[in-house]
Structure 1
Amino acid sequence: MSRVIEAGSANFTRASCWGLAAAAFVAAAITLLACYWQTAQSLVWVWDHDGTYQYAFLIFPLSLWTAFNLRHQVRANPPAPSVWGLAAVAMLVFVWYAGHLLDVNLAQHFAFVALFPALVLTCWGWRALWVLAFPLGYMVVFEVPWSDALVGPLQDITAHFALRALELTGMPALLDGRQILTPSATWMVADACSGVKFFMACSALGCLYAYLMYQRWWKRVLFVALATVVPVIANGLRVYFTILIGETWGMKYASGTDHLIFGWQFFGTVLVLLLLAGWFFRDHLVMREPAPAHGDKLERARSIVWLAAIVLLIVGPMFASESESRVPSEAMHLTAPAVAGWTGPMAAEDGWGPIFKGATGQVRASYRSAAHGDVVDLFHAVYVGKPRREHTLITYGNDLYDPAYSQILSSASRKLDLADGQSLVVGELRLSGTTGSRLVWYWYCVDRRCTRSPALTKLMQAWDVLRGRVPRSSVWALSSPIGLGDADQARTNFRAFAQMLPGTGMPDVPDRRASAGNKP
C-alpha cells in the first residue's frame, strides 16, 4: 500500500514539475514570437511568395503532431533545465543579431527556427530533446528556406540527364550550357525546370514517411536517400518526355497548359509509386515504453535558466534597435569613367540590365574599342555603410541580369591580370535572353578587397562591421553580346578594358577621376 502511495505521490510531483516547465517553455516561446515577429513575418512571406517553399506551411503542424504523440515519453522523467541550452540560446541570438546587422535573411531565419529546439533543451533538458529530436530537427531542416543554392546544380543535372536520354533513344541533340538543341527547337532548362520544388517537397515527405513507417535505422536512411534521388531522376525524365513530345507531335503539346498538366501528373504518379514501394517494406508498429524515471523532483537550482533564456531573447532585438538608430544616410552621384583606348562613355544599349536596388550610387555605360569597334558595357554600383534592409549589396532580388528576360546558360571563374601586377578571379556568366546571348564578367569589392564570391563578400562586410568600420562595398560588371565563337573575343576585350579602367577597377568607391561629389 505504501508503495502505491509513494508512486502516486511521485507521479503527482512529476506532473507539477512538468506544469512549471511547460509554462516556462510557453512563456519563452511567446517572448520569441513577440521579439522576433519581423523575422517570423519575413519567413512566412518567403513561404507564400516563393513557390519552392510553399510546402513549409505544413511542416510546423506535422512537427507539432509528431511531438504530441511523443508526450508520454517526454513526461516519463522530470524536466532538467540545462545550462547548455542557455548557451545554445545565446549563440543563436548572436547569429540572429549578426544576420540582422548584415541583413542576411538566411541567418535570421535559421536562428529563429533553431531557437525552438534550444528552448526545449533549456527548459526541459537533454532527455526531452533526445525524445523530440526528429520533430525538432524536421522543423529546422525544412522550414528554413535554404535550397536556392540547389537550383543551378539541379538545372545542370537535369540538362545532362535529358541529353543522355535523348541520345540513347536516337534523338539527335546538342547541349549548350543549359540549352538543349534539337532539330526543330532549342529547349532551355530554366530555373523552373530545375525540379527544386518537387525535390524539396519529396524530401520532406520522405523523411516523415521514413520516421513513421520504419523502426530500423538503415531502412530509414535508405528511404530518405530514395526520396532525394528519385525526384532528381524523375525531373530529368520529365524534361526528356517534354522534348520528345514536342519533337514528335509538335510544340503546342509540349508548352503552355499541357506542359503544366503533364508535369504535375508525372510528379504525382512518381510520388505515389515511391510511397507504395516503401509501404511494402514497412516495419510493424512497436509501442515504445517510456524510459524509466530517474528522479521525480525538478532541479530548482537550474530553473533560473528559464528566466535567463527569456532575458537573452529580449537582448538581441534591443541591440538591433540601437544599431538601426545609428545608420548613416547618404547618397552618391556617380559618373562613368573615361577609359584609355575606348570611345565613350556612351548611353548603355538595351539588352542587359543588372538589378541592384538601394545602392548609394550606380552607373551603367557603353564603350567602343578604338582598335576594332567591339562594344563593352560597364555596370558599377556602390553601397556605403553597413548592410541593412533595402540597402544590401548581396541580397535576394539583386542580380547581374534581369531574370524576366535572361537565363544563365553556364557559369565559370576567370583570372584577370591587372596593369599594376595584381590578379583577380572574376565570375563569368553566359546568358541567353530575348536579345540573344551575352557574356558577363563580375566581381565584388569591400574596401579594396575583391572577390567573385557573394559569401566571402558578406564575410568581409561582417568583419568591417564587427571592427566598427563603415564598409564600402561595390559590384563591377562587364558585358558584351556574343554570337557563335565570339566568347573568346569578348573575354579578350574584357581583359583589355579592365586593365585600362581607372584605379584598376578595384576601388571600393569610384576613383576621383570617375566620380562627382556626394549629394547631401
Structure 2
Amino acid sequence: MTFLKSSIFKYLFAIFVLWGGLFYASIESTVAIWYRSETFAHCFIILPICIYLIKLKWAQLHQVQLKPSLLALVFVAGTLVLWLFGSMAQVLVIEQFATFAMLPMMIWCLLGGQVARVLLFTSFFWLFSVPVGEFMIPQLQELTADITVFAIELTGIPVYREGLYIAIPGGLFEVAVACSGIRYLIASFTLGTLFAYLNYNSFKKRTIFILFSIFLPLLANGIRAYGIVMIAHLSDMKYATGVDHLVYGWVFFGVVIFIMFTVGGRWADPLPEKQTIDNPAGPKLDLSGLVKPGIGLAILLVASVSYKLAFENPISSVTPAISKVFNTDQAPSDVSWLPSFINPTHQAIGQQDGVDYFYAYYNGNIQGQELINGRNTLYNIERWSIVSDDANERFRTLEITDVYGRNRLLTYAYVTPWHVTHKAIEIKLVQAVQALIGQPQNGYILVMSKPIEKRDLDKRLLEQKADAFFNGESQALLSGE
C-alpha cells in the first residue's frame, strides 16, 4: 500500500491515464495486432515488466528532484509530428511507435530530466510494445532455407532447392512463413535485452549478450528446420510433417532460451545492494515550475489530437477505366497465382495477348482500405514462392514457383497521380504528403504475369509491356482521361 500512496506513483499513473485517453485509438489498433498475431502476443507482458522495472528503481525515484522540462517540449513536438504523419498516411508502425514513444516524453516533460534518466531503460524497453518486425519474414525464410540446405548437404543427402521449396529423395518441404523464425527472433531479442539489463552492469557486456540473443535464434531456427527435415526423412515422412513440427518448434525454442540464459548467467554481475527509501511519501512536484511546460504540452497535445479528429482523408471521384486499356472479359489462364489486396474500391482480372492481368484500385487511403498494406500480397503466398527478382526505377519483375514446379514471371508497379514505382515505401511517403495538404490519396496496382516457356523471351515481353504502360498512360487513368 505504501507503493500506492507515493506521490511518484500518483504522478506516473495520472500521466499514463492522460496518455491512454488522448491516444486511445492508436493504442487500440496496437492491442488489436497483439491479439490477432501470435508473433506479438508477448507484447501483453511488456507493461507488467515495465512496472516491475519501475519498482526496481523505486528508491532512486524517491531521491530525485521533480523539475518539469521545457526542453522536452521540443521532443514532444517532434513525436507528435511523427504521430500525425503516420496516422494521416496510414503507416501504422510509425503511428504506433510515436504513440508509445509519447508516454516517456510526457513523463520527461512533466516530471523532469532526473526522472527520465532513472527510467531511461524502462522507457526503451517500453518500445517493445510496438508490433514491428514482420517485414523481415522473407529474408528470414531465405536464411532458414540457406542453413537447412547447407546442413543437408553436409549430411550427404541429395537436395534440390528452388525458391523456398526444398526437395530430398523422401519428400518436398517448404520454408513457410511460420518457419521463418520471426517469433523466435523477436521474443529472444526482447527477453535477451531484459536479461542483459538485469544481469550486467557494463554497456559492453550488455551489448554482447543482446547481439548473442539475436544471432542464437537465427542459427537455432535453421538447425530446427534441418532437424524437422531429418526426422521426416528418417521416419519415411511419418513424423514432423504436420502440426507436430510446430510443437517440436516451440519445445526447441524453450531449450534455446534455456541455453541462452544459462550461458549468460555464467558471466552475470553481482546484484546491486537494495536501497532504502528515506521518504516514503515521495518528492513533491514544483507546481510553479510546471506552468510553462504543462501549458506547452497541453497546447501541443490538444492541437494535434483535435487536428487528427477533425481530419478526414478525402476520397477521389475518379474511377479508372482499366477495361479500356486491358481486356477484362477473358479470364486469366491460371488463377492460382493471383494477388490478394484487401477491400479495394475496384478490382479486375483478365488476359490479353497471352499475358494475365490483376488490377486493384483504391479511391482513398483509410484504415483497412489501403493500397499499401502489410496484408496485401503480390501473389498467392500459400502456393507460390519467389525464385528471383529484378527491378528498375519504375517496375519490378519476379519469378515465382509452386510446389508442382511451375514457374511464372510477374511484373508490377503502384500508380498514383504523383508517382509510379514498385517501391511501397515511396508510395506511402507520397500519400503522406498528399494527406498533409488535403489531397485524395488514390492509386492502383497493376500486375502482369505470364507462365514461363522461354524465360528470356517471356521476360523481355513482360518488361516491354510494363515499360510502355508504366512510362506512358498509367497515370492518365487517374485523371479520368
CA contact (8 A) 2:72 2:105 kept: yes
Q: Tell me which amino acid in the other structure corresponds to 1:396.
A: G
1:499 & 1:333 partners in 2: Cα distance?
19
CA contact (8 A) 2:395 2:412 kept: no
Residue 9 of structure 1 is matched in structure 2 by none
Residue 436 of structure 2 is matched in structure 1 by 466
Choose which of 51, 69, 72 in structure 2 pairs with 1:64: 51
TM-superposed deviation, 1:505 = 5.1
Cα RMSD for the two superposed structures: 2.9
Q: Report whether the alignment pairs 1:413 with 2:390.
A: yes
1:475 & 1:100 partners in 2: Cα distance?
22
Residue 459 of structure 2 is matched in structure 1 by 491
TM-superposed deviation, 1:408 = 2.7
CA contact (8 A) 2:387 2:401 kept: yes
TM-superposed deviation, 1:308 = 3.1
1:502 & 1:144 partners in 2: Cα distance?
36
CA contact (8 A) 2:320 2:478 kept: no
CA contact (8 A) 1:77 1:292 kept: no
Residue 380 of structure 1 is matched in structure 2 by 359
Residue 394 of structure 1 is matched in structure 2 by 372
1:78 aligned counterpart, secondary structure: coil
Residue 358 of structure 1 is matched in structure 2 by 343
Choose which of 59, 62, 70 in structure 2 pairs with 1:83: 70
TM-superposed deviation, 1:499 = 4.6
CA contact (8 A) 1:150 1:196 kept: yes
Q: Tell me which amino acid in the other structure corresponds to 2:332.
A: A
TM-superposed deviation, 1:235 = 0.3
Note closer, same or farther for the CA distance 1:80–1:460 as it changes in structure 2 (3 Å cut). Answer: same
CA contact (8 A) 1:440 1:479 kept: yes
Alignment coverage as a number of residue pairs: 473
1:279 & 1:238 partners in 2: Cα distance?
24
Q: Tell me which amino acid in the other structure corresponds to 1:388.
A: I
CA contact (8 A) 2:62 2:277 kept: no
TM-superposed deviation, 1:98 = 1.6
TM-superposed deviation, 1:198 = 0.8
Q: Tell me which amino acid in the other structure corresponds to 1:353.
A: L
Structure 1 unpaired stretches of 5+ = 1-15, 369-374, 416-422, 514-520
Choose which of 329, 332, 340 in structure 2 pairs with 1:348: 332
Residue 107 of structure 1 is matched in structure 2 by 94
Given the two structures, how large is their TM-score scaled by the length of structure 1? 0.83
2:314 aligned counterpart, secondary structure: coil
Q: Tell me which amino acid in the other structure corresponds to 1:104.
A: V
Residue 286 of structure 2 is matched in structure 1 by 298
Note closer, same or farther for the CA distance 1:152–1:499 as it changes in structure 2 (3 Å cut). Answer: closer
Structure 2 unpaired stretches of 5+ = none
Choose which of 159, 163, 167 in structure 1 pairs with 2:153: 167
Q: Report whether the alignment pairs 1:424 with 2:411.
A: no
1:502 & 1:236 partners in 2: Cα distance?
40
Residue 186 of structure 2 is matched in structure 1 by 200
2:133 & 2:234 partners in 1: Cα distance?
35
CA contact (8 A) 1:382 1:508 kept: no
CA contact (8 A) 2:181 2:218 kept: yes
Note closer, same or farther for the CA distance 1:502–1:47 as it changes in structure 2 (3 Å cut). Answer: closer
2:186 & 2:245 partners in 1: Cα distance?
21
Q: Tell me which amino acid in the other structure corresponds to 1:176.
A: E
Alignment of 1:106-505 (within 5 A): 106-140=93-127, 142-287=128-273, 298=286, 300-324=288-312, 327-328=314-315, 330=317, 332=319, 334-338=321-325, 346-349=330-333, 350-368=335-353, 375-385=354-364, 387-403=365-381, 405-415=382-392, 424-428=394-398, 430-432=400-402, 436-482=406-452, 486-499=454-467, 501=469, 504=472
Q: Tell me which amino acid in the other structure corresponds to 2:398.
A: E
CA contact (8 A) 2:79 2:101 kept: yes
Given the two structures, how large is their TM-score scaled by the length of structure 2? 0.89
1:336 aligned counterpart, secondary structure: helix
From the two aligned structures, give the one with the greater strand fraction: 1
Could you say which structure has the larger radius of gyration?
A: 1
Note closer, same or farther for the CA distance 1:32–1:431 as it changes in structure 2 (3 Å cut). Answer: farther
